[in-house]
Structure 1
């Protein structure tokens, strides 16, 4: 018994991630996953064209408020539970092992599909940038696998290195969005500065459900504040602060940048402009208010923004597999910690392999990297992560009903319930507009939604089977002793 206990303690001690990342580093990783420039230059034009036009900035603010309220309970949970599994760990502590594994499966599905989606968009964007500056035109998958190789190297190393790389890229990215916003405001936009974008009438015009769908999708990845908890010196302080700072920063940046784009064309003209030229909407605005050179820089920075998101999601997925392995629900080798870098290097290599297979399938099928790989996989990711967040809201409320836990009413009851209700409402809107999100095929929409539900159900069933085996093994061991 003593020998077994000692071995277990040593194993647990050797399976703790190491790092010295601080609040700033965590915030950088989260905002990098959100990819602000990708949202403003890529998602926003489509959001304006298909959604509520000039009301897009309001949709970002609503999404930010819902997530901020959700973050109150989430931050409270992070103070009670420090685990690189984040959503998985919180649902497990609140609702039990089986629902926790279901949440983990959905989170891994969400991050894997969103990363594959970004590989498609990044490859297409990079090819366009290379061609614009006189380089060769190559198949999109060549660029995708090149980016994948770079991400694999950085993901294998210490999280501190990845955070430094993302920090440099992110500062430049945010500076460009702020510069565009300031330029538009100083020059008075197309027809003067107004706040029409932040009125209820603007938000409710058109299709606010589609606008909210794109807005909430632009926040995917903010869970990373808790994912990196083990790699901070003081997770109980760092994670809550980083969560609030990240959500507020992303929300303000999106609202400001999208408002600037609206003003650049005029509140009454921006939707028609987006419908006519969605891919160039933000770049044309940059050329008009900052100059052609700034527009070229923005195109290059869009590639680095996408790369930053790829690295952030790679790190998140490898830490999820690490957490599942440490809990005994994935191969044990995945809980290995690199002796030098302190990283989950085995999980990182597995993640690279899974990304390669998924992207390769689309490449071999001759799929379009944007219209199919990006659109389809992003749609799956948004629905899956919303489902996990709703489960987490419920788990937080249940967890804090137990004796000896935090009893602050706002943090443990009111905020988690309000945040959960807001997320349920957004989830309903997203599912209602899911066919539009993935390109218009109702049959494909049903297949993807069924796959998401099946993933959760299969993981729950697997969890119950594994738990039953563990209990039988423990009972047998007790009888022998």
Structure 2
């Protein structure tokens, strides 16, 4: 059975509003996966910027909070299951909304691969620690990754309240263990009883000799990767009971928590390993940063607990990205396609079951395909999918931030909502930080084949949807019409009626074909 609701445009699939604020927070917390990210992402930055890893996370925190400000301000007035698809579509136009939504969908799909492979890597390491085998067979992480996808699938199609509660408790438990290890590390370093003679220092907040300040933006990509998913609560815009309050709290609160957690956590990690050459080298080579510190500073069993907790947290993160991706796919199909196979909502659970099964099935198929045809190294897929996902995520963030500025500073004042001073500045700064980060990670062109392939795949993903949108003017009409009637956007969507009329006019004038040179502008008027 499916659940639907009537609108002026016909039968409009509709999700259930059953979630409280804590559930929205749970999704963003789990999708960001702070306890997972703090263990496996900083090493990448360490290989680039040395001891200055915490400094790169300070910069990443600033960039993410700039983006989070736009989300919080816009989501206090608008809500939509399509996250940046609906929000950008209503602020600067349906075509931009589809590009933003498609980019974010690609990011969530990529991160589902990243997190499920992380579960595989840490799960295999935990089994090795238990003595199941002396040397990890290459196939084991891949099998565990597929199991993680299977578990995520089962939980994602269950009632969403149950899934959110599971996500929150998984993250709380793992974070608690990490916090205990952090306290022990600081106490022992300050007290002069660190295992390697490490001493207290704040050198990690200075740029090492031989490394330029601009190089920090090569490492900052791992910071953005660590925050990825903080905005996932926006995809619950049609399932929370008070979205205009709950979602801003969830998004900005999780971004702020993540920033503090990452800055303090990476500082403790650098203290624990040491900021000299040997310490940075050990830091960069660690498979699990707090797992290693737990083993060295507390007891081997604590390191095993962190490894297990990280594997479970990764499964929770895979679940969170599956939930967010399925809502995005649901909303994109509801607004863009005539065939609505992905918009079926279960009458029993209230979840978009078909979209969820497709997302999880696609993730599993990609894992199998990569293992059979490309590589047998689990870490390769982890690194590749994480990089591709971050690049397309930045595209979505940039488009949303542009739309946030236009909406807050131009559209809203026309409707009697005075813009705040920060509205004029913060989204512009967000676009600047995102733009520079992307340029710095593309130029100079990577020297390695995987590095070049990651950029090319991300570019193809974004360019492909732009080509489709330009070549399909009827789709623009359907998107604008759909968004103008969606529950969380309808009160702000009056200008889209003009967009619908003008697209119809062009279709009729040119025998149902609109030239690519006649786009619909943000305010509904053609240039």
What is the TM-score with the length of structure 2 in the denominator?
0.82
Aligned to 1:309: 317
Aligned to 1:427: 438
Aligned-pair CA distance for 1:344? 1.2
**Does the C-alpha gap of structure 1 residues 405 and 204 become closer, same or farther in structure 2, counting only changes over 3 Å?**
farther
Matched, 1:360 2:368: yes
More helix by share: 1
Give the Cα–Cα distance (whole angstroms) in 2 for the partners of residues 243 and 330 of structure 1: 32
Aligned to 1:133: 130
Q: Decide which of 33, 40, 43 is 2:41's aligned counterpart.
A: 43
Give the Cα–Cα distance (whole angstroms) in 2 for the partners of residues 9 and 160 of structure 1: 30
Give the Cα–Cα distance (whole angstroms) in 1 for the partners of residues 416 and 90 of structure 2: 12
Aligned to 1:120: 117
**Does the C-alpha gap of structure 1 residues 463 and 246 become closer, same or farther in structure 2, counting only changes over 3 Å?**
farther
SS in 1 for 2:350: coil
Q: Deviations over 1:194-247 (max 9, x none)?
A: 222234568957941222011111111112121112221111111111112100
- Asked whether the 8 Å contact 2:388–2:455 carries over to 1, the reply is no
Aligned to 1:160: 161
- Comparing 225-234 with 445-454, greater Cα deviation is found at 445-454
Aligned-pair CA distance for 1:191? 3.1
| 1:85-104 equivalence runs, <5 A | 85-104=82-101
**Does the C-alpha gap of structure 1 residues 443 and 121 become closer, same or farther in structure 2, counting only changes over 3 Å?**
same
Aligned to 2:177: 176
Aligned to 2:238: 230
Q: Decide which of 348, 356, 372 is 1:340's aligned counterpart.
A: 348
SS in 2 for 1:331: coil
Matched, 1:467 2:465: no
- Asked whether the 8 Å contact 2:272–2:293 carries over to 1, the reply is yes
**Does the C-alpha gap of structure 1 residues 464 and 200 become closer, same or farther in structure 2, counting only changes over 3 Å?**
farther
- Asked whether the 8 Å contact 1:113–1:380 carries over to 2, the reply is yes
Q: Decide which of 3, 21, 28 is 1:30's aligned counterpart.
A: 28
Aligned to 2:457: 448
Q: Decide which of 186, 189, 193 is 2:200's aligned counterpart.
A: 193
Give the Cα–Cα distance (whole angstroms) in 2 for the partners of residues 211 and 6 of structure 1: 49
Aligned to 1:257: 265
**Does the C-alpha gap of structure 1 residues 330 and 348 become closer, same or farther in structure 2, counting only changes over 3 Å?**
farther
Structure 2: where are the runs of 5+ without partners? Answer: 482-499, 509-527
SS in 1 for 2:446: helix
- Asked whether the 8 Å contact 1:102–1:459 carries over to 2, the reply is no
Give the Cα–Cα distance (whole angstroms) in 2 for the partners of residues 446 and 221 of structure 1: 20
Q: Deviations over 1:28-61 (max 9, x none)?
A: 221211222322221122321x122221112112
What is the TM-score with the length of structure 1 in the denominator?
0.89
Give the Cα–Cα distance (whole angstroms) in 1 for the partners of residues 6 and 449 of structure 2: 57
- Asked whether the 8 Å contact 1:55–1:205 carries over to 2, the reply is no
Aligned to 2:402: 394
Give the RMSD, CA atoms, in angstroms.
Answer: 2.8
Structure 1: where are the runs of 5+ without partners? Answer: none
Give the Cα–Cα distance (whole angstroms) in 2 for the partners of residues 353 and 359 of structure 1: 10
State how many pairs are aligned. Answer: 468
Give the Cα–Cα distance (whole angstroms) in 2 for the partners of residues 327 and 271 of structure 1: 49
**Does the C-alpha gap of structure 1 residues 157 and 199 become closer, same or farther in structure 2, counting only changes over 3 Å?**
same
- Asked whether the 8 Å contact 1:213–1:426 carries over to 2, the reply is yes
Aligned-pair CA distance for 1:292? 1.3
